[in-house]
Amino acid sequence: MRRKLAAGNWKMNGLRSSLDELDALAKAHPDPDCDLLICPPATLIAAAVDRCQGGPLRIGGQTCHMNMEGPHTGDISAQMLRDVGATAVILGHSERRADHGESSEDVRTLAQMAQAAGLQTVICVGESQFQREATNTLDIIGAQLSLSIPDSSTGENLVVAYEPIWAIGTGQIPTADQIGEVHDFIRARLEQRFGYGVGKSVRLLYGGSVKADNAQEIFGISNVDGALVGGASLTAKDFSPIIEALEASALPADS
């Protein structure tokens, strides 16, 4: 059984006062039926880890450098994230791919470093609007998967997030069939590459305009094991109902 995962990506949002939201989340979900991960900006990671000590929330980074240390002004390495208590890192987010020119090959190198440092890697894939209209979405996703995911991946250190670029921050959501098609495809590809056992145990998140009012439907789709949430993860008020929807989806149908 894959344990569900609700992950929040704060992107370049959050000041120290935002850490109060973590307290509120931990209070609202002291013993959740799913894993909870928040990835705040780098400036808040150490303080967030301290705040969340002993509670249900894990803290992660939003990217890392491909070297462990050295002359790379402004960058942060996987071992630094691990050192301050982060347990995970988002890699290959479309905003990193677009803003910083990260290729899938780069993402694989970052993921190798992060996994070697003991971090869980949340590797993002997703097509643009143009790609969805002009080509076969599954070809795009397939290429991103094979190039971005390192061989060192396991059911424990790999999470894959499907984030269609056109759905991020737009309020535009793919249909349930579209999400299901891509998630089933990702599952099949992982099983092919890593074997049935490992492929089955990797968690697959959907990301892109997940909100309280669409979460229940999204979490009912096959092979959706949780969500990577942007805007709606910034406050406990918005993120809590999404967590509740995920917890409800994790329970057997007759309970």
Q: Which residues are catalytic?
A: 93, 163
Check residue 209 for interaction with ligand 13P (CB under 6 A).
Answer: yes
Pick the binder of ligand 13P from 4, 65, 93, 189 (CB under 6 A): 93
Check residue 169 for interaction with ligand 13P (CB under 6 A).
Answer: yes
Check residue 210 for interaction with ligand 13P (CB under 6 A).
Answer: yes
Residue 148 CA to residue 139 CA, distance in Å, equals 14
Q: Taking Cα atoms as reference points, which of 90, 97, 120 lies closest to residue 233? A: 90
Check residue 9 for interaction with ligand 13P (CB under 6 A).
Answer: yes
Minimum distance between the CB of residue 182 and ligand 13P, rounded to whole angstroms? Answer: 15
Pick the binder of ligand 13P from 14, 66, 230, 242 (CB under 6 A): 230
Q: DSSP state, 145?
A: H
Contact between residue 128 and residue 98 where contact means Cβ atoms under 8 Å apart: no
Check residue 229 for interaction with ligand 13P (CB under 6 A).
Answer: yes
The letter for the amino acid at 233 is: S
DSSP structure string for 65-125: -SSSSSS-TT---HHHHHHTT--EEEES-HHHHHHS---HHHHHHHHHHHHHTT-EEEEEE
Minimum distance between the CB of residue 75 and ligand 13P, rounded to whole angstroms? Answer: 20
Residue 78 CA to residue 34 CA, distance in Å, equals 25
Q: Which residue is nearest to ligand 13P (CB)?
A: 230
Pick the binder of ligand 13P from 127, 208, 224, 249 (CB under 6 A): 208
* Strand residue runs (E) in 107-212: 120-125, 158-162, 203-207
Q: Is residue 100 within a helix (H) or strand (E), and if so which, with residue range?
A: none
**Listed ranges 30-38, 134-142, 201-209, 245-253: which one lies at the site for ligand 13P (CB under 6 A):** 201-209
Check residue 204 for interaction with ligand 13P (CB under 6 A).
Answer: no
Residues at the site binding ligand 13P, with contacts judged by CB under 6 A = 9, 93, 163, 168-169, 207-210, 228-232
